[in-house]
Chains A and B, each alone.
Chain A
Amino acid sequence: MLIREEKTEEKKFALPPKIKSTYKNFKFLSETSTYKVYEAESCYTDEKHTVRILDRSKEFVTKEFGLTATLFVKELLHLQNRCPGSVITNTFEISENGQLLACATLPYLTLSCQINEEREILNPKDPQMIEKLISNALDDVEFLWENLQIRNVMSTLGSDNLCFLKGKGAFFLSDWAKIFESGTDNLLLSVVPSKTSSLKGAKLTSLELAGEIKNLAMTVLKLNKANFKEIEHLRQREDVSSEIYNTIVTSTLEKCFSNCKKLQDLIGKMLSLKPQNLPTLEELRFKERRLPKLGFEEANDSTLLAWCLNETNKVNVIELDTKQHYASFDGAQNNEGVLQFYKVNLIS
């Protein structure tokens, strides 16, 4: 996904009538190989959404309209399936005899915005966030491998198309068409059924996804501004000593995630030169399964009860369904005075 530096540049674009009447203040954000992405405000709620519009001016779209339009819709269907509520379904629109496609989603940004230091999207040192990133990205990679028979997903899409959907606290891969555009010949070769376990109906293994897992780990390092080029350089050398390589990987990860040995080990295994040392796909997803109450979606779905304390103004929050502690922190303070009443607050 290309991020335009000149934000002020006014780009002429056609809007489907319903989107045009529903949204205002369109601001160009970025473009993929087949569609343009805008930020816009709902005329009714003033909420900001991201609007994507299939770009008929692209040569690839003109040449392969059926394919690109299909991928445009498939991406949205997949996103909605992965993160229910992320696609504003009622805004999906096809107009001009099927030539103009558009839809709004909850706001999202690509991780390249952070890597290029354009915007701060997330804390790249937060272990939970990184685990979620790895898990979500791998889910999409598996989907593309299994259902569209697409290979080399992470190397083609990379951080430019790895997006963070803040409202759901989820990551997803966009611009699937780029893989098709970047080399139809190669793609044709890659979609020819091979003797992989996935094509026999069995689940994919980390061995099959070794390249994707490695590229995903590299994206995490990039996000942390780590010196990943040295690791990449060593990986390309055939005569590299595994001890030297492991030492460099370990020291890089210690710098990145000094507070989380578990994450150091996980990414270390993802970067392992020996395929047998790769983490299993289960391991790469383990957090979400073992700790279902952690993360954003769960927090959004649960009912919380918050109250603050007399005198200290300490705020406590519990999950109402489970009656378990959720968070506690010091509320606003000033230097003088005594607070006099309790206030409880239900958060839906």
Chain B
Amino acid sequence: MKEIPNTKLLVSLYHHRSRSTNLEIFDISKKEQAVKIYSLEEVVGSNIPFNDSMNCIIAVVTGYGDVTTNMRRSILGAISLQDKIAYHLLTIDAASFKNDEIVKLSRKSQWHPQYSNGSGKR
């Protein structure tokens, strides 16, 4: 889970190391009324092998994987799908008046073959 800086938006990420991942964004600007404003469809097929070296990532978000934002450019990147998608890129428009316009999936970047290596695919 991670906040989107300078907004009242929380990104909640759920990774299973070998099966699937999911991402949702909540607006918590109102007390007791968290509103889900975006849900990425569950991404099935991820197969990231367990590796001690990934502990640093585990410490950043719940489960495996990471989410990162660049609010100067209003973008958020998260979730790879091994061999298919390197990352999902979402645009954030926190000033939008309509909930379904605050977060939009901007692109799914293609997986690059050089991301795979001999010891395991990532």
Interface: B24 (CB within 8 A): yes
A120 touching B29, Cβ below 8 Å: no
- With both beta carbons as reference points, the residue of chain B lying nearest to A329 in the complex is identified as B34
Bound-state Cα–Cα, A169 to B31, Å:
13
Listed stretches B80-88, B92-100, B103-111, B113-121; interface member? B92-100
Which residues of the other chain, A, contact B2 by a CB distance below 8 angstroms? 343, 345
Bitwise interface map of B from 1 to 38 toward A, beta carbon under 8 Å scored 1, else 0: 11100001010111111011111101011111110100
Bound-state Cα–Cα, A336 to B16, Å:
7
Instruction: Specify which of A317, A343, A346 is in contact with B28 (CB 8 Å cutoff).
Output: A317
Bound-state Cα–Cα, A76 to B79, Å:
43
B97 touching A109, Cβ below 8 Å: yes
* A337 → B minimal CB distance (Å): 3
Which residues of the other chain, B, contact A46 by a CB distance below 8 angstroms? 72-74
**A contact residues, range:** 35 or more
Instruction: Specify which of B10, B63, B97 is in contact with A306 (CB 8 Å cutoff).
Output: B10
Q: Say whether, besides A332-B13, A336-B19, A128 and B29 are in contact (CB < 8 Å).
A: no
B61 touching A119, Cβ below 8 Å: no
Bound-state Cα–Cα, A345 to B2, Å:
6
Listed stretches A143-151, A203-211, A223-231, A296-304; interface member? A296-304
Which residues, 147 to 179 on A, are CB-close (under 8 Å) to B? Answer: 164, 166-167, 169
Bound-state Cα–Cα, A224 to B93, Å:
26
Bitwise interface map of B from 44 to 72 toward A, beta carbon under 8 Å scored 1, else 0: 00000000000000111111000000001
Interface: A335 (CB within 8 A): yes
- With both beta carbons as reference points, the residue of chain A lying nearest to B2 in the complex is identified as A345
Listed stretches A55-63, A254-262, A270-278, A307-315; interface member? A307-315
B62 touching A313, Cβ below 8 Å: yes
Interface: A71 (CB within 8 A): no
Bound-state Cα–Cα, A345 to B61, Å:
10
Interface: A47 (CB within 8 A): yes
B95 touching A167, Cβ below 8 Å: yes
Which residues of the other chain, B, contact A300 by a CB distance below 8 angstroms? 8, 29
A128 touching B20, Cβ below 8 Å: no
Instruction: Specify which of A120, A294, A315, A334 is in contact with B20 (CB 8 Å cutoff).
Output: A334
Interface: A268 (CB within 8 A): no
Q: Say whether, besides A307-B1, A313-B12, A47 and B95 are in contact (CB < 8 Å).
A: yes
Interface: A331 (CB within 8 A): yes
Instruction: Specify which of A119, A329, A335, A340 is in contact with B63 (CB 8 Å cutoff).
Output: A340
Q: Say whether, besides A45-B72, A327-B32, A329-B26, A347 and B95 are in contact (CB < 8 Å).
A: no
Bound-state Cα–Cα, A149 to B81, Å:
64
Which residues of the other chain, B, contact A313 by a CB distance below 8 angstroms? 12, 14, 62
Interface: A293 (CB within 8 A): yes
A299 touching B8, Cβ below 8 Å: yes
B3 touching A345, Cβ below 8 Å: yes
A119 touching B29, Cβ below 8 Å: no
B19 touching A337, Cβ below 8 Å: yes
Interface: A333 (CB within 8 A): yes
* B83 → A minimal CB distance (Å): 19
- With both beta carbons as reference points, the residue of chain A lying nearest to B93 in the complex is identified as A48
- With both beta carbons as reference points, the residue of chain B lying nearest to A338 in the complex is identified as B16
Instruction: Specify which of A121, A164, A332 is in contact with B14 (CB 8 Å cutoff).
Output: A332
Instruction: Specify which of B21, B29, B59 is in contact with A299 (CB 8 Å cutoff).
Output: B29
19 contacts between A and B (CB under 8 A): A120-B98, A299-B28, A299-B30, A299-B31, A313-B12, A315-B1, A315-B10, A327-B28, A327-B32, A327-B34, A331-B14, A331-B24, A332-B23, A332-B39, A333-B14, A333-B22, A337-B15, A337-B19, A347-B8
Instruction: Give the interface of A toward B (CB within 8 A).
Output: 45-48, 106-107, 109, 119-122, 128, 164, 166-167, 169, 293-296, 299-300, 304, 306-308, 313, 315, 317, 326-329, 331-337, 339-343, 345-347
10 residue pairs, one from A and one from B, having the closest CB atoms: A337-B16, A331-B12, A332-B24, A329-B34, A332-B14, A332-B12, A332-B22, A107-B95, A334-B22, A308-B1
Given A332-B13, A332-B24, A335-B20, list of 12 further CB < 8 A pairs?
A46-B72, A48-B95, A107-B97, A119-B97, A119-B98, A299-B31, A306-B1, A315-B12, A317-B34, A327-B28, A327-B31, A334-B42
